[in-house]
Structure formats: structure tokens, C-alpha cells
């Protein structure tokens, strides 16, 4: 394999063809490590600070090495960016004849069978779904991919997609009358033939979980696997290597059973009755749980009046529906599919209620409109290690946030990557002159009832000095909502003419576009905006973080993991909770400086950053910004800003 440095030179092919490209020593060093790992089929974990250019640093050696490459990203947005922009740019610059395919989960593709059924039945909860359905029909007739992201006339968030896409549960597979025309199967055929396949972490982990269960895999074999935004993998892997039964799954099963009976077994009156009884049982389970969002281990949930009896009734209704479907299953593939799903859910419910292995946490989550019965492994390290070490291929894990003060041990333990080589590359940005870390004085402890009010009051002078242009990021939805209300009152009271945006008022993409366009907006948000958000330029000049993002101590999975670590003689706080919080905080802080010309203030309000012994370890893991506790110095930062930045040119 050639030395990647020649491609990154100031007069090299990347500089000649990619606008704005400039050589970066960190990028070249990372590319060399990736090339070495690919050449020796090794494991590599790389933290690359914002601005390093990690995408090109792994694409160049991966594409020039040859062989099959799978690249997995954290979000579908990044997946699209890689497929549509980054890989074509490198391929053109280097003159490489590589073929590329993108593969998403089946819920992203129109299903001909379910589209036909939706058109025939026309039963929707929302009139907008009925209005949008003809647009989906036209798209399905003319599209080459069936990817709903390409259907510009129907928003990706529209609920009509639930009716016209399939899930792993309700896909009829080779029994489907539209199997030959299936968009999902066509996408998989393209992935098998391509040199480079771009996927997302959910699909990648789903593939590993299927392999674990001995089921045919979703993804082709590959010589190199690159996992970008790799800090997300531990949580996603826990999801896929665990189990979950949701109210949505059960209600969808009831709906599909009724629809299949209407289409193929109109004379079987017991079948729609059994489906209706299942819907009622699902609602009864939800009614036994708190109305608000709630999480608890199974033992606490069983203490709720009526919960265990409601689970008994749910299990009985599933058995009755299975019997009703079994009597009609031979009449149509859809009925047989519903029977198999009913059987699987009934078995899953029995196993979830009786499973006693200490390595799985059984817990219940209630949301305003449903519930989940979860089984989450305490650790995914052994499972992942067996997949990673079981195949002779290169594994590259990279993100801007994987280490705590250069220490990767937390991530390596969590992922089963103790044998991996590690490397950290600092951002090339000049944080000392571009950014200021401000920790205000005099704030109360974060567990006080007036804490959010104190955060807003402390942030107002900085918002005034910056002219808006801020993200206020909160660790809970409750605090986010309270802060938004307080800011509304303060802006009205003080005559501050900053557009105030709130997470949830639109899609994340729409909110970000509006934020960029306005130029002086203040966005109040929670977890959705802590990562994967890129707003370079003066439109974002302040990031306020309300408190250190420690996971809630009453989270059932976290509590079980803490208990196990302490039982093993470890310090759960220092070895698990703190590293996790640091990595999350680094993601939030990373929203501020996105280019060489950005300037801004990172305001972390939590007094524990200063008062607690572990606070030093946290702020030393952040980029090397100047630090202050003086409000006046934070305000003066904007007075000293270059004129072009104040006017919005950056």
C-alpha cells in the first residue's frame, strides 16, 4: 500500500480537486495508522479532535488498499454525507474505480406489499397520511432505490411511512408477491456487489445480533470495517444484543392481524375479535404504570397495583390470537407471518418474565403513549470481542470523543477492545485564542429546585453580549422546557429581540436550517443537539451546558452496572460513570468551534466542575481553551471579537 502522505501533500491530488483542502499533520498521521491497521488486519481506536479531517484520513487508505470495505456511521445524515459527497470526492481525486453502495434498515424503503394494503384499506389516524399516500405511490413507481429520503414531497417524519414500509417482524420475505421488485432486496444486492458499503450503526449492530443468533446476516463479508462516531456503539450494541417487547409492536401485530383477516379470512370472526382483545390488553398494561415517562427494574414494576395481572392477561390474549391465526394461517402468507410474530412475542414475554441470569437487566419503561419491556445485557464486551477477533479483518473505531484525558481504557473495556492499538490526535484549531471556557460563580447545587432558574439568569448577560447566537443544552427535557419558559419571560421583560427556538418545534434539520438563517437565534435543546450538529460561523458563538451529563442514578441498567462493578471491587464512579459523562460532555462542547475562524464561549454552569476533586479531570479532557469564572471577562470576549465575526462573516 502506498504511503498515504503523498495523497495529502500540498500539491497532491486531494489539494488539486477538493475545495478548501489544506494539509494537516494530524490527518496524515492518522491515515498512516489506518493504513497499517488495514495492512495487518489489526484493531485501531482513534480519537480525532474536531478539524482533524478524520473522514479523509480513513477513506484514503481504505479506498487505496482494495478489498471490501464497510463504513458505519452514527446517523443517516452522516451516512448520506459519506455516500453522496465524501466518497465520490476521494474517488474522483485519486482516480479510483471503486463501486459504492449505501444500505439502510428496511424501515427506510417503501414496501410494495404494505403500500398496496394501505391503498386498499385507506384507514389512517391522520388525514395528512391520506393526503400524502398518493405521493408515496408515485414515488414507488418511479424510484430506483425506494429510499424514503429521496421522496422530497413527503417529510421523513410523516407517520404515513409507518403504513408503507416493513419491519423485520412483518416482512413476508420470499413469500411476498413483490419479492422480485423489493427495494430492500435490491439494496442488498447492490451492497453485495460493491467495493464499499456505507451503513449506520443500528444496521451494523442488527447484523451482528443476527449472526449471534445463527440467522442469515444482513451485511456482506468485508476485509475492513470502519466505525465512525464510534462513541455511540456501546449503547446501540446493548440495544441490539438485548431484547425488547414494545406496546407499538403488539398494537402493530393486532392491526396487521385484523387487516390480513379482512383481506383473506372475512369469515373468521374470532380473528378480529382476538386482535381487538390484544389491543385492550396492551392498553390495560399501560394504565397500570405511571402516566409520565418512567423507568424501573422489573421488581419495582411488579409492585405496581395490577401490573402483574395485566401481564398475565396480555400473555393470555397473545395465546388466543395465536390460536385464531393458526386456524387461518394456510390461507395467506400474511396470516402465517402474523402467527409467527404472535408466537415469537408470546415466547419473548415468557422468557422476559422468567429470565433470572444475572448478566441481563430486566426493566420497564413507560412513555406517555406506550411502554417497553426490556432485557439489557450488563456488558456487551464479550459478545463484541468474539465478533471482532473471530474474523481476519481490520477494525477501525474513530470519533472526536473516545478518551478521557488521553486514556481509552473505559472505551476499550466497554467494547472488548483491550488488544487494540490506540491513538489520539488533538484538533488543529487554536482553542486558546478561539474559545473561552466560562464557569460562572455562585450557582447552587444542581439538585436544587431553583437550579434551572439560576442557569438562565447566569446565561442572560452572555446572551446579551453575544447578540443571541447560542445553544442552551440541557441534560433533561424537564429542565429544557422550564428554561425555555424562563427565557421567553426574560426576553419579553428586557426587550431582547433574539428568536427563541425549542427542540421539538420541528425536525432537527428544519430547526438547524432556521437557526443558521436567522443568525442571532437562541436554541434551547436537550440530548438531540448534543452531537452530530454542525453550525460553523458566527451564528453559533455560545454553547451553554446546564450541568455535567451524568446518567440518572435511578436508570435501571446503570444501577445494575454500578452494583456489579462495586461488587467486583472496582470504583464504579471513577471507572464507569465519570468517563461516560466526560465523553458526553466533550460531544456537547464540540458544537462550539467547527472551523479555523470560529470564536465563542463555552459556558458550563455546574459548580461541581470546580468544587469536586474529579472536576479537574473533566475540564482537562476538554480542548485547551482559556478559562475564567468572571462574567465580565466572558462578556468582554465578544467585545474583543474580530469585526467580521461580529458582523456574521466567518
pLDDT tens digits, residue range 535-553?
989 999 999 999 999 988 7
The answer on 216 and 151 residing in a single domain is no
Q: Judge whether residue 434 has pLDDT over 70.
A: yes
The answer on 201 and 66 residing in a single domain is yes
| 645 band by pLDDT with thresholds 50, 70 and 90 | very low
Give residue-wise pLDDT tens across range 303-316.
999 999 999 999 99
3-state secondary structure at position 626: strand
Contacts of 43 (CB under 8 A, 6+ apart): 37, 388, 394, 395, 397, 417, 419, 420, 421
The answer on 275 and 358 residing in a single domain is yes
The answer on 551 and 454 residing in a single domain is yes
CA–CA gap between residue 185 and residue 157 (Å, rounded): 23
Q: Judge whether residue 8 has pLDDT over 50.
A: yes
pTM of the model: 0.90
The answer on 261 and 219 residing in a single domain is no
The answer on 354 and 411 residing in a single domain is no
Residue 76 is predicted with a pLDDT of 80
Helices and strands in the chain: count of H runs, count of E runs: 30, 18
Give residue-wise pLDDT tens across range 391-412.
889 999 999 999 998 999 999 9
The answer on 207 and 72 residing in a single domain is yes
Number of structural domains, the chain? 4
| 122 band by pLDDT with thresholds 50, 70 and 90 | confident
Give residue-wise pLDDT tens across range 453-469.
999 999 999 999 999 99
The answer on 300 and 445 residing in a single domain is no
14 is in which domain, residue-wise? 5-99+194-240+380-425
Residue 296 grid cell: 424501573
Say what percent of the chain tops pLDDT 90: 79
Residue 647 is predicted with a pLDDT of 32
Task: Give the CATH number of the domain where residue 612 resides.
Answer: 3.40.50.300
| 641 band by pLDDT with thresholds 50, 70 and 90 | low
CA–CA gap between residue 646 and residue 29 (Å, rounded): 35
The answer on 504 and 615 residing in a single domain is yes
For the chain, how many residues are written?
A: 650
CB 100 within 8 A of CB 170: no
CA–CA gap between residue 297 and residue 286 (Å, rounded): 16
Mean of the per-residue pLDDT values of the chain? 92
Contacts of 481 (CB under 8 A, 6+ apart): none
Domain boundary among 185, 210, 232: 185
The answer on 474 and 395 residing in a single domain is no
Domain boundary among 360, 395, 425: 425
Residue 357 is predicted with a pLDDT of 62
Say what percent of the chain tops pLDDT 70: 97
Residue 646 is predicted with a pLDDT of 37
Domain boundary among 390, 425, 460: 425
The answer on 602 and 475 residing in a single domain is yes
The answer on 489 and 619 residing in a single domain is yes
Amino acid at each position: 500500500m502506498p504511503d498515504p502522505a503523498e495523497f495529502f501533500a500540498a500539491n497532491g491530488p486531494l489539494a488539486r480537486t477538493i475545495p478548501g483542502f489544506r494539509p494537516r499533520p494530524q490527518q496524515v498521521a492518522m491515515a498512516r495508522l489506518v493504513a497499517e491497521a488495514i495492512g495487518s488486519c489489526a484493531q485501531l481506536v482513534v480519537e480525532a479532535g474536531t478539524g482533524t479531517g478524520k473522514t479523509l484520513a480513513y477513506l484514503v487508505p481504505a479506498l487505496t488498499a482494495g478489498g471490501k470495505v464497510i463504513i458505519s456511521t452514527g446517523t443517516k445524515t452522516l451516512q448520506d454525507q459519506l455516500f453522496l459527497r465524501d466518497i465520490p470526492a476521494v474517488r474522483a481525486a485519486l482516480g479510483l474505480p471503486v463501486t459504492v453502495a449505501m444500505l439502510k434498515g428496511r424501515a427506510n424503503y417503501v414496501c410494495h406489499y404494505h403500500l398496496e394494503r394501505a391503498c386498499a384499506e385507506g384507514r389512517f389516524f391522520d388525514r395528512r397520511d391520506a393526503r400524502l399516500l398518493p405521493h408515496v405511490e408515485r414515488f414507488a413507481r418511479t424510484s430506483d432505490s425506494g429510499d424514503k429520503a429521496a421522496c422530497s414531497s413527503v417529510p421523513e417524519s410523516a407517520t404515513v411511512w409507518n403504513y408503507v414500509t416493513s419491519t423485520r417482524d412483518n416482512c413476508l420475505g420470499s413469500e411476498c408477491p413483490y419479492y422480485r421488485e423489493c427495494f430492500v432486496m435490491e439494496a442488498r444486492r447492490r451492497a453485495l456487489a460493491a467495493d464499499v458499503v456505507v451503513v449506520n450503526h443500528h444496521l451494523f449492530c442488527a447484523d451482528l445480533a443476527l449472526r449471534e443468533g445463527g440467522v442469515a446476516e444482513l451485511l456482506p463479508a468485508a476485509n475492513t470495517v470502519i466505525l465512525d462516531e464510534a462513541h455511540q456503539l456501546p449503547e446501540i450494541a446493548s440495544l441490539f444484543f438485548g431484547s425488547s417487547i414494545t406496546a407499538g409492536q403488539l398494537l402493530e401485530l393486532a392491526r396487521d392481524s385484523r387487516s390480513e383477516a379482512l383481506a383473506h379470512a372475512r369469515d373468521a370472526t374470532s380473528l378480529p375479535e382476538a386482535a381487538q382483545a390484544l389491543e385492550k390488553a396492551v392498553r390495560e398494561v399501560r394504565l397500570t404504570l405511571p402516566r409520565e415517562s418512567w423507568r424501573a427494574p422489573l421488581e419495582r414494576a411488579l409492585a405496581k397495583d395490577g401490573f402483574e395481572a395485566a401481564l398475565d392477561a396480555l400473555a393470555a390474549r397473545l395465546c388466543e390470537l395465536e390460536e385464531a391465526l393458526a386456524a387461518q394461517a394456510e390461507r395467506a402468507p400474511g396470516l402465517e407471518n402474523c402467527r409467527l410474530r404472535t408466537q415469537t412475542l408470546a415466547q419473548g414475554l415468557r422468557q422476559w418474565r422468567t429470565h433470572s441470569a444475572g448478566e441481563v437487566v430486566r426493566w420497564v419503561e413507560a412513555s406517555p403513549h406506550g411502554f417497553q419491556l426490556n432485557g439489557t445485557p450488563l456488558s456487551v464486551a464479550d459478545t463484541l470481542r468474539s465478533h471482532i477477533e473471530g474474523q481476519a479483518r481490520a477494525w477501525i473505531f474513530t470519533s472526536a470523543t473516545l478518551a478521557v484525558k488521553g486514556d481509552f481504557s473505559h472505551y476499550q473495556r466497554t467494547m472488548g477492545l483491550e488488544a487494540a492499538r490506540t491513538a489520539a490526535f488533538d484538533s488543529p484549531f487554536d482553542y486558546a485564542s478561539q474559545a473561552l471556557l466560562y464557569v460562572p460563580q455562585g450557582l447552587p447545587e444542581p439538585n436544587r429546585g431553583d437550579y434551572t432558574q439560576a442557569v438562565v439568569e447566569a446565561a442572560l448577560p452572555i446572551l446579551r453580549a453575544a447578540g443571541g447566537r447560542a445553544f442552551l443544552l440541557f441534560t433533561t427535557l424537564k429542565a429544557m422546557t422550564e428554561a425555555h419558559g424562563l427565557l421567553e419571560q426574560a426576553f419579553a421583560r428586557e426587550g431582547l429581540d433574539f428568536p427563541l427556538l425549542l427542540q421539538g418545534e420541528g425536525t432537527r434539520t428544519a430547526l438547524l436550517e432556521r437557526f443558521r438563517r436567522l443568525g442571532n437565534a437562541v436554541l434551547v435543546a436537550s440530548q438531540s443537539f448534543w452531537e452530530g450538529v454542525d453550525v460553523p460561523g458566527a451564528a453559533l458563538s455560545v454553547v451553554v451546558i446546564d450541568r455535567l451529563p451524568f446518567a440518572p442514578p435511578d436508570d435501571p441498567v446503570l444501577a445494575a452496572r454500578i452494583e456489579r462493578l462495586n461488587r467486583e471491587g472496582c470504583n464504579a464512579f471513577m471507572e464507569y460513570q465519570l468517563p461516560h459523562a466526560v465523553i458526553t460532555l466533550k460531544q456537547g462542547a464540540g458544537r462550539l468551534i467547527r472551523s479555523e475562524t470560529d470564536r465563542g464561549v463555552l459556558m458550563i454552569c455546574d459548580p461541581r466542575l470546580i468544587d469536586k476533586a474529579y472536576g479537574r479531570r473533566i475540564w482537562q479532557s476538554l480542548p485547551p481553551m482559556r478559562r475564567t469564572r468572571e462574567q465580565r471577562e466572558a462578556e468582554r470576549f465578544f467585545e474583543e471579537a474580530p469585526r467580521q465575526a461580529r458582523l456574521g462573516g466567518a
